[in-house]
C-alpha cells in the first residue's frame, strides 16, 4: 500500500502534468495565431508528452490500489501576459514565452524532487524506482527548453533565422512515453 502522503502528492502531480499540457497548448495557440506553425507544433507535442506523464501517475496509482482523484485543471492565461501583447512575437517576446516554459519545467522538477524525497523518507523503493524515470525526464525537459531558448536568442531577431528555426521545430514528431508502471 502506498502511503497517504504519497498518494496525495501523486494525485496533485497528475493534475500539474495535465495543467502543463493545457499551458503548452495555450502557448501553441499563441504561436499558431502568429503564423509560427513550427513553434506551435513543438508545443503541441510537448502537451502530448505532459498528458503521457499524467497518465503514468494515473496508472501507477491504480496499479498500487491507490485512490485516483481527478481535480479541476486550472486554465492557463498566457494570452494576457505582458510578454505576448501586440502583434509581433519575434525576438524578446518569443523568448519570454520560452523562458516561461523553462521556468515552468523547473517548477515541475521541484515537485517531482519533493515526491522523491518523501518516498525516500518512507523507504518506498518501488515508488522511488518509478520516479527515477521522471527525474531523468525532467532533466531532458529543462535541457530541451534551455537549448530552444538559446537558439531563439541567436536567431529570432532575424526574420530568416526565425523562419529556419520555425521550420526546424515543425519537423518534431511525437513519441509516446514508455515506462512500465
Residue 142, Cβ density class (10 Å: 0-12 exposed, 13-18 middle, ≥19 buried): middle
Q: What is the DSSP string of 96-118?
A: HHHHHHHHHHHHHHHHHHHHHHH
Could you tell me where the beta strands, DSSP code E, fall in 27-120?
none
Position 29 pLDDT exceeds 70: yes
Per residue in 3-16, pLDDT (tens digit) is: 999 999 999 999 99
Q: What percent of the chain has pLDDT over 70?
A: 91
Position 88 pLDDT exceeds 50: no
Position 94 pLDDT exceeds 90: no
Q: In this structure, how many other beta carbons lie within 10 angstroms of the beta carbon of residue 19?
A: 20
Contact status, residue 137 vs residue 32, Cβ threshold 8 Å: no
Q: What percent of the chain has pLDDT over 90?
A: 74
pTM greater than the 0.85 cutoff: yes
Residue 111 pLDDT level (bands cut at 50, 70, 90): very high
Query: How do the domains of the chain map onto residue ranges?
Result: 4-72+88-170
Q: Which CATH number fits domain 4-72+88-170: 3.40.50.720, 3.40.50.10320, 3.30.365.10, 1.20.1260.10?
A: 1.20.1260.10
Higher per-residue confidence, 177 vs 80: 177
Position 101 pLDDT exceeds 50: yes
Position 157 pLDDT exceeds 50: yes
Question: Mean pLDDT in the chain?
Answer: 90
Position 87 pLDDT exceeds 60: no
What is the widest separation between alpha-carbon atoms in the chain? 56
Cell 518512507: give the residue.
122
Amino acid at each position: 500500500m502506498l502511503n497517504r502522503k504519497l498518494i496525495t502528492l501523486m494525485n496533485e502531480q497528475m493534475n500539474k502534468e495535465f495543467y502543463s499540457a493545457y499551458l503548452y497548448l495555450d502557448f501553441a495557440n499563441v504561436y499558431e495565431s502568429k503564423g509560427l506553425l513550427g513553434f506551435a507544433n513543438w508545443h503541441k507535442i510537448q502537451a502530448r508528452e505532459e498528458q503521457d506523464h499524467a497518465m503514468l501517475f494515473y496508472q501507477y496509482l491504480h496499479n498500487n490500489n491507490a485512490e485516483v482523484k481527478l481535480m479541476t485543471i486550472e486554465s492557463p492565461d498566457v494570452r494576457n501576459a505582458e510578454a505576448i501583447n501586440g502583434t509581433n512575437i519575434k525576438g524578446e517576446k518569443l523568448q519570454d514565452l520560452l523562458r516561461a516554459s523553462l521556468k515552468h519545467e523547473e517548477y515541475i522538477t521541484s515537485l517531482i524532487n519533493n515526491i522523491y524525497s518523501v518516498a525516500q523518507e518512507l523507504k518506498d523503493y518501488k515508488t522511488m524506482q518509478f520516479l527515477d524515470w521522471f527525474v531523468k525526464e525532467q532533466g531532458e525537459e529543462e535541457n530541451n527548453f534551455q537549448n530552444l531558448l538559446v537558439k531563439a536568442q541567436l536567431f529570432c531577431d532575424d526574420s530568416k533565422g526565425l523562419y529556419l528555426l520555425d521550420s526546424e521545430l515543425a519537423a518534431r514528431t511525437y513519441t509516446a512515453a514508455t515506462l512500465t508502471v
